[in-house]
């Protein structure tokens, strides 16, 4: 048992090392990207290229670097039906235009996680929320950015998950893609988004996605919300 104190000290020091590498960031952001059956492969490509283009956009880069700490922590997931949620890019810090453009390159290379599946919005929100416990970085603002082109088709009601997540202090913003459902923005406002200053930014279709996601990301990174 003489080795036990040394093990305890080693464990304690390793914990300090992890904490020493933690950074304070302006926000922690999870991108939740719809890859359900309603998103065909052309639409998937437009969506992912739109995300990549947004992180090359000076509007978004300026928002990332203009905060009090000049950096954000970000992760991204794909989601579809029940038990179809996949973290595609784990937590990393963006603190410069170079970081943002490198992140765009990563998004360009991400393969589709699920070829088809239902629209389980609650499952997407729950998986996105679970990632915050894994981020070693610290902030006073945690945000889920969920985009999608349809209402829930499988799983529990999204407002149940939303209310639980918002009660934990997380903000949920939405980007409804009005490709097939012109009233989807109302659905997102009523049943998906929540938290202080939560908002939606609609895309009229997948051709409009790149514009919408760039404007949405710049707005939520800055934190200058006007409310719903």
Whole-number CA gyration radius for the chain: 18
Residue 55 and residue 107: Cα distance in Å, rounded? 9
pLDDT tens-digit map of 148-165: 999 999 999 999 999 999
pLDDT higher at 89 or 5: 89
User: What pLDDT is stored for residue 223 in this prediction?
Assistant: 87
User: What pLDDT is stored for residue 21 in this prediction?
Assistant: 66
* Res 18 pLDDT > 50: no
For the entire predicted model, the pTM comes to 0.89
* Res 3 pLDDT > 70: no
* Res 8 pLDDT > 90: no
Which residue, among 9, 119, 101, has the nearest Cα to 64 in the 3D structure?
101
């Amino acid at each position: 048992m003489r080795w036990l104190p040394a093990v305890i000290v080693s464990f304690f020091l390793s914990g300090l090392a992890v904490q020493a590498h933690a950074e304070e960031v302006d926000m922690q952001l999870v991108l939740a990207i719809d890859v359900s059956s309603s998103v065909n492969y052309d639409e998937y490509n437009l969506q992912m290229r739109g995300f990549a283009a947004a992180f090359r956009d000076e509007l978004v880069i300026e928002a990332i670097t203009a905060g009090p700490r000049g950096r954000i922590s970000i992760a991204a997931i794909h989601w579809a039906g029940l038990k179809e949620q996949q973290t595609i890019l784990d937590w990393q810090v963006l603190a410069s235009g170079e970081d943002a453009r490198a992140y765009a390159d990563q998004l360009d290379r991400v393969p589709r996680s699920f070829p088809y599946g239902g629209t389980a919005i609650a499952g997407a929100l729950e998986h996105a929320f679970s990632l915050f416990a894994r981020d070693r970085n610290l902030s006073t603002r945690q945000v889920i950015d969920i985009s999608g082109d349809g209402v829930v088709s499988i799983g529990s009601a999204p407002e149940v998950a939303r209310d639980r997540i918002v009660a934990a202090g997380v903000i949920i913003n939405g980007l409804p893609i009005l490709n097939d459902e012109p009233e989807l923005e109302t659905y997102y406002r009523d049943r998906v988004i929540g938290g202080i200053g939560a908002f939606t930014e609609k895309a009229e279709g997948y051709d409009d996605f790149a514009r919408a996601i760039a404007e949405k990301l710049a707005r939520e990174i800055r934190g200058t919300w006007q409310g719903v």
